């Protein structure tokens, strides 16, 4: 089996771009000059994009996962490669040593100004921070606090024609006590400090209803602003109407301080694409305009879509506009943006053979410690220390996870547990507010293979356990296979709303194991995933000594070796 895995890895690394791409669970580039949405099937939420020369750089929120602020690069807005992260740890570092679910790094903005790449990001509990770099692949500077107002979210910088910098942002009701407001504040010359009076430029509660493809809707949860200028007009692109069921609004004014007039420029229309929400306008070197945004797709996270964009009477029309009313709707398939650089069909990294480093797709669930993982203990293996902590993984930071790569996929890993005390366990997990895992546990009578389900983990409900094998070897192969399932949801607590809010899409998981790496045996009933707090479900691995077991007070704990992690259709 080891030989087979090595050969597979070598094939992936040495194959032609097209052959290597075929191993991916989802590819947006159809190879014929067109693309299909989403262009990023993973949970790259709250995307913002900047073009520098012939390259595009995308940054996304990362909440409690570290390293944070993933950076992706593309030559055509369709094929994206993960090139690094802008944030090693979330400040304050001690505070974020625990997974502060729903906190951490919210929607960022990336710009290139004065020869530097600059990312402004909010932590709604502490304020807005700035990191900078000459190379988007890093290294990035340590975060600097730009504005310490609690509840600030979704900051975006803008430099006017006179060189004056500004920062536009929204507010989180959970921290600030109010929302549906877009504010503006000056930046100092370096762009690392907000100065002067804060100005409210858009107040959704005071605006008349906006015309949408389903009739008039009130402006609500207006947030995620991006500030631009074109032909003497200032534009604020800001979504509204709720994350899952809203639309992409655009406001314009001749003056930064207003008055501003707003329109719905992209909503669900007659498609099945709920809540096209929050993104970035980007212009290609050839002058084409495009818009990237996310769609909240429940357990699969906030997937990134690419829409063509055109201008009509001083307003952007985003996506397709079949009836010509100026309100766009998402496209499913479209011709690719023109590019001077030949495309390599690709998608962000997922499989890993642990050849001395982790691939960039992996993230911990909180700020991490250096001894949580060791890639030097054994060649071709990731050694995970059995970290003592809560039996409920919802409270654990030492869970190593990746974004889901597609609606349908498989993930297979080879796991060896080397415990030194009773209670240590390790496994392959589908993680969220409901989670499940399959793996090995060390009991008083030795190792067993177990399946654990914990629905309601975020509400601290008890877990359910099934012993698959009473006597298990120390090495097993584990697999999860996912396919989408649609479930009904109750109406939201407001009206009007889009019918798409009455359903959710989750991953239905089948877990299986093998003792030889060839024949796999399904275990138990399918498990239906649930997203986390503002993030989609995640797949990954962990090793743990639950609090209360003897290993928690022992000076010596064991480990688990993960020898491969293979993701495919």
**CB atoms near residue 337 (< 10 Å):** 22
Q: Which of 124, 179, 176 is nearest to 153 (CA)?
A: 124
Question: Which strands, in side-by-side order, build the sheet including 194-203?
Answer: 152-159, 165-171, 181-187, 194-203
List 46, 147, 352, 458, catalytic entry: 46
**CB atoms near residue 218 (< 10 Å):** 17
Q: Which of 163, 154, 134, 142 is nearest to 48 (CA)?
A: 154
Q: Which of 258, 254, 224, 252 is nearest to 238 (CA)?
A: 224
H or E segment at 19?
A: helix 17-21
Tallying the residues shown for the chain, one arrives at 569
Both structure tokens of 466: 């099934």
- Phi, then psi, of 59 in degrees rounded to 5: -125, 150
Contact 523, 384 (CB under 8 A): no
Clarify whether 46 is annotated catalytic.
yes
Q: Which residues pair with 350 in a beta bridge?
A: none
Q: Which of 326, 332, 213, 323 is nearest to 268 (CA)?
A: 213
User: Which DSSP string do the residues of 326-343 spell out, in sequence order?
Assistant: S-BB--SEEEPPP-SS--
Give the dihedral sign, CA 41/42/44/45. Answer: positive
H or E segment at 13?
A: helix 2-14
Contact 283, 291 (CB under 8 A): no
| Residue 239 to residue 248: CA distance in whole angstroms | 4
Q: Which residues pair with 113 in a beta bridge?
A: 116
| Residue 421 to residue 504: CA distance in whole angstroms | 42
Say which DSSP state 352 is in: B
List 43, 223, 264, 407, catalytic entry: 223
Give whole-number Cα distances, 367 to 153, 160, 197, in Å.
21, 37, 34
Q: Is 34 left (phi over 0), alpha (psi -120 to 50) or beta?
A: beta
Contact 256, 246 (CB under 8 A): no
Contact 137, 84 (CB under 8 A): yes
Give whole-number Cα distances, 444 to 271, 399, 469, 558, in Å.
56, 25, 15, 15
Contact 544, 386 (CB under 8 A): yes
- The residue assigned the tokens 């007070």 is 553
Query: Where are any strands of DSSP class E within 399-445?
Result: 399-403, 409-418, 425-431, 435-443
| Residue 194 to residue 172: CA distance in whole angstroms | 19
- The catalytic residues are 46, 223
């Amino acid at each position: 089996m080891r030989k087979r895995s090595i050969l597979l890895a070598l094939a992936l690394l040495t194959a032609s771009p097209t052959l290597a791409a075929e191993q991916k669970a989802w590819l947006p580039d159809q190879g014929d000059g067109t693309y299909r949405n989403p262009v990023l099937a993973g949970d790259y939420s709250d995307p913002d994009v900047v073009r520098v020369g012939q390259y595009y750089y995308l940054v996304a929120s990362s909440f409690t996962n570290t390293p944070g602020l993933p950076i992706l690069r593309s030559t055509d807005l369709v094929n994206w490669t993960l090139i690094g992260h802008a944030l090693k740890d979330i400040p304050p570092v001690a505070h974020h040593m625990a997974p502060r679910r729903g906190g951490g790094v919210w929607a960022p903005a990336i710009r290139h100004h004065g020869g530097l790449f600059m990312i402004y990001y909010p932590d709604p509990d502490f304020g807005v921070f700035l990191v900078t770099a000459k190379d988007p692949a890093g290294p990035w500077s340590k975060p600097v606090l730009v504005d310490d107002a609690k509840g600030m979210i979704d900051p975006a910088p803008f430099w006017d024609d006179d060189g004056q910098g500004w920062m536009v942002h929204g507010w989180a009701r959970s921290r600030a006590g109010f929302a549906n407001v877009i504010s503006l504040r000056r930046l100092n010359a370096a762009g690392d400090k907000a100065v002067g009076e804060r100005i409210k430029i858009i107040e959704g509660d005071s605006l008349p209803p906006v015309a949408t493809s389903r009739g008039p809707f009130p402006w609500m949860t207006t947030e995620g602003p991006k500030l631009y200028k074109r032909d003497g007009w200032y534009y604020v692109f800001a979504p509204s109407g709720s994350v899952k069921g809203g639309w992409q609004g655009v406001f314009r004014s001749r003056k930064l301080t207003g008055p501003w007039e707003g329109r719905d420029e992209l909503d669900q229309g007659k498609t099945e694409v709920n809540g096209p929400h929050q993104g970035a306008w980007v212009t290609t070197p050839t002058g084409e305009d495009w818009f990237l945004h996310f769609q909240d797709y429940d357990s699969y996270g906030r997937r990134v879509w690419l829409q063509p964009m055109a201008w009509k009477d001083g307003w952007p029309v985003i996506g397709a506009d079949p009836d010509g009313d100026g309100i766009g709707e998402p496209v499913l398939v479209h011709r690719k943006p023109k590019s001077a650089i030949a495309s390599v069909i690709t998608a962000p990294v997922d499989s890993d053979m642990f050849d001395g480093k982790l691939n960039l797709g992996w993230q911990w669930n909180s700020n991490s410690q250096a001894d949580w993982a060791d890639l030097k203990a054994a060649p071709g293996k990731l050694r995970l220390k059995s970290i003592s902590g809560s039996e409920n993984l919802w409270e654990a930071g030492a869970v190593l996870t990746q974004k889901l790569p597609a609606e349908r996929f498989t993930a297979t890993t080879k796991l060896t547990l080397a415990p030194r005390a009773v209670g240590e366990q390790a496994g392959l997990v589908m993680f969220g507010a409901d989670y499940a895992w399959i793996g090995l546990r060390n009991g008083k009578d030795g190792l067993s293979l177990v399946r654990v389900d914990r629905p309601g983990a975020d509400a601290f409900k008890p877990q359910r356990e099934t012993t698959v094998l009473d006597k298990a070897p120390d090495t097993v192969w584990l697999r999860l296979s996912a396919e989408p399932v649609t479930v009904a949801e109750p109406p939201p607590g407001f009206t009007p709303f889009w019918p798409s809010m009455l359903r959710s899409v989750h991953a239905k998981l089948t877990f299986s194991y093998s003792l030889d790496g060839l024949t796999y045996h399904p275990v138990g009933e399918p498990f239906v995933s649930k997203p986390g707090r503002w993030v989609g479900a995640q797949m990954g691995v962990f090793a743990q000594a639950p609090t209360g077991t003897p290993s928690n007070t022992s000076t010596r704990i064991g480990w688990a070796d993960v020898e491969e992690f293979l993701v495919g259709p």
